[in-house]
Structure 1
């Protein structure tokens, strides 16, 4: 079977070969396979040292203190820990978030809402962005947390987090940011953004699946309640034996992302332009989300007169998606596209194309050509 051209990097990235090479050293009998919590022998000490080195690597990419990095199983757990951990034990708590967040944030907030926490759901404009004025208008005396993503996973648009963070810092309200789609795709500085809590993922940055991190600000200390108990690991915020090989992989991936960030952003911008240029002869194509404030690797397009599901079936040689992987089990139109005001009809005609580190110019040219051919054919048989 022919391998399809992979244009679904926003769903997951392949592990960089250099990452896999480092990971194997912490798995096999001739490597460092000890428990990093075992402090009575050398294998445990070596594993702990590897974990702490990776903590520094992750911290460097987002300009944080290594002591502010808490290991988790991924951004979904980080979102849960940040939001539930900030609210737990707070009476009459109020949260602000948006209708186009990742499901890990939306479903967590809905769960809390069902259990007595007040939630305000902000609605962005067509550009997919939430403004500081919207947040300011939604603040209440009992607001304890605002949770907004830095880069939207379906649209690629960037939320202007820094002024929101300044507003909330003055009001002593915590700001949680899901940065799973931002880390390694754009410069991220937690201090400049005025962030208190930030969720990170390994597998969105060419690292392994099953590992992530939560940034928890230390100065002044942000206090969150643990959601997993059993040993008091990670300064009491997240118990459980640490997967050394996955953590090493995430650390290596973040180091590679830091070293190549500027060049990779330039490459993706070039590939994006080439991809869109290849579609210029096709009428009735709508580019969704902000075209100014965005990362280069995500392109969301709606095709007039063509259902997304039919288009995907026709594009057998391309690996693309009609929305977030977290919602792929449903045939409903994307809640993100509906959330920015698109009609169900237009949302049903949209596909997400996401480019990445291993995308080539030849693949982009092939993808554009295939899309033009299939859309033209489908429109002809309407």
Structure 2
């Protein structure tokens, strides 16, 4: 999941659908280069990927189609017959080559990078533990992508926290959100509301990412900044209430 980092039980979903006429499509953009992917054995019919999620070039993606899906796929646009007749248009060779190289590099260092990101995540959480953060995600680390962290600080509006931490790159939800910034009710995360059972949780949640170029020193600095900001906000809130 792109917001909370939970790894979905795709194989179990595919098992439920087996024998039916329903095709299983998986948006695997967030999984590419982060976890091992065995699409065929998992029973996935279709899966889509974006190169930039694996440090490849923007503007190119890929579609995996299993044998069952390939037997029924047909073009909706027609032209030069590129992409095996499914998607006409000049193929961006440089972007495709860059995507391929990004995938090779991601696969080569997958295990080591996952371990490194897990360490960064745990160090960050240990540094902010005194703030009593509430985590959105699976209780078992094996079912979470370590590079995505969704955390809630009860009683603190996420927009307020963003303004208090201009040096920390984080968001209040999915980067795919296209809602107006003037209407936060339209931006509330249905994912956070579903896992927490509270619309208020969405207003108090921030999303952070740890990636290939995130260093230990950056994580430690960010954690220190979080502690200062959250404690200052809570102190101000206490004075206002008092």
Q: By how many angstroms is 1:158 displaced? A: 0.8
Equivalent residue for 1:366, pick from 218, 221, 231: 221
Runs of 4+ deviating beyond 6 Å: none
Equivalent residue for 2:161, pick from 300, 311, 314: 311
Residue 22 (structure 2) pairs with residue 173 (structure 1): yes
Equivalent residue for 2:87, pick from 238, 259, 264: 238
Residue 143 (structure 2) pairs with residue 279 (structure 1): no
Structure 1: runs of 5+ lacking an equivalent: 1-151
Equivalent residue number for residue 156 of structure 1:
5
Matched residue of 1:311: which SS?
A: helix
Equivalent residue for 1:295, pick from 124, 145, 149: 145
Asked whether the 8 Å contact 2:46–2:69 carries over to 1, the reply is no
Q: Deviations over 1:142-176 (max 9, x none)?
A: xxxxxxxxxx0000001111122133232242111
1 CA distance for matches of 2:71 and 2:102?
Answer: 27
Asked whether the 8 Å contact 1:216–1:222 carries over to 2, the reply is no
Cα distance, 1:236–1:372 mapped onto 2, change above 3 Å? same
Q: By how many angstroms is 1:270 displaced? A: 0.6
Matched residue of 2:103: which SS?
A: helix
2 CA distance for matches of 1:221 and 1:253?
Answer: 26
2 CA distance for matches of 1:229 and 1:337?
Answer: 41
Pairing of 1:1-382 with structure 2 (within 5 A)? 152-218=1-67, 221-283=70-132, 285-292=133-140, 293-327=143-177, 329-330=179-180, 331=184, 332-382=187-237
Cα distance, 1:220–1:228 mapped onto 2, change above 3 Å? closer
2 CA distance for matches of 1:230 and 1:291?
Answer: 50
Asked whether the 8 Å contact 2:45–2:69 carries over to 1, the reply is no
TM-score normalised by length of structure 1: 0.58
Q: Deviations over 1:296-334 (max 9, x none)?
A: 111100101210001011111111111111115442322
Q: By how many angstroms is 1:290 displaced? A: 1.2
Query: What's the RMSD between the two structures over aligned residues?
Result: 1.5
Matched residue of 1:380: which SS?
A: helix
Asked whether the 8 Å contact 1:196–1:222 carries over to 2, the reply is no
More helix by share: 2
Q: Deviations over 1:57-115 (max 9, x none)?
A: xxxxxxxxxxxxxxxxxxxxxxxxxxxxxxxxxxxxxxxxxxxxxxxxxxxxxxxxxxx
Count matched residues.
Answer: 230
2 CA distance for matches of 1:220 and 1:180?
Answer: 19
2 CA distance for matches of 1:245 and 1:212?
Answer: 13
2 CA distance for matches of 1:381 and 1:164?
Answer: 47
Q: By how many angstroms is 1:295 displaced? A: 0.9
